[in-house]
Structure 1
Amino acid sequence: MVRRSQRKQEEPDLGVLSSRTLFSLQRELFTKLSEQGHPEVRPRHGAVLAYLDEEGSRATDLAAQSGQHKQVIGTLVDELVALGYVERQPDPADRRAKLIVPTAKGLDHMAKSDAVLAEMEAAHAKAVGEEAYAAFKRVFTLVVRRQTGS
């Protein structure tokens, strides 16, 4: 009899593959970012920094894009403000609302993060072939859209 855990190792389902990919990607990304001058940022901060526009974003938009509750985003923004990565500013389009705006330190982190991720993707494309990797991304994007309804 094949044990469930053994079957999951040999034929992982979408959830297992997604989590392995996410955790491995985060480990490599945040290790490299730490080496490049951003040791205090943690994977949880990605719910803000990965979706943050250079001109600023509303917390409600960050919550919707990341799939996190607005309260979680608020806590993460508080942490990132304390670390010097973002600041809250009045939204010029609606003075009652606040924008979460990256500081120079935040912009540096975002640029380095984009560069590290581009390097990681290029390495995967080289390992499996450009065409296969492009097809994988197209299919994975379709699966994500179907799963999230977006």
Structure 2
Amino acid sequence: MLTDTIIEDDRWSEMGFEALAEAAAEAAFLHLGMEARDFEIAVLACDDARIAELNTEFRDKPTPTNVLSWPSEERGAEVDGDTPSAPEGLDPELGDIAIAFETCAREAETAGKPMADHVTHLVVHGVLHLLGYDHIRDKDATLMEGLETAILGKMGLSDPYEI
């Protein structure tokens, strides 16, 4: 399996999060032409209180957020809009993702989207971060959002950035 899931909040189990996370991560790898079986990602399915602790500890932001990611090494592109470093030679342990139930549920409800669709998007988003994609610079954001939209589209899900 590509994902090693740790479920701290039982509500994630009730929605079948482990299978959802695996499918989302595999779809990202497939779209990028990478062999998912060569890599491992740790995924923490937690609540807002836990992710707020992590957000405080690692980003000095004492609030909950929807998803956090920690790549095992820096992989980002030096030039805005360029593709991150090639997958050859990547550490097989790509890094960690944490996702918070309450924030995801609230965002899904606000957007009028099924929780599973929103969570799938956020897992794909986290996986792309682990692979070096980012959205801080404008062209990087365009590249990353385009990939997310394409990956989710292949999964039969709507564009998460469509207004």
Shorter-chain TM band = 0.3 to 0.5
Greater relative contact order (CA < 8 Å, ≥ 6 in sequence): 2
- TM-score norm. by structure 1 comes to 0.32
- TM-score norm. by structure 2 comes to 0.30
Query: Between Structure 1 and Structure 2, whose CA radius of gyration is higher?
Result: 1
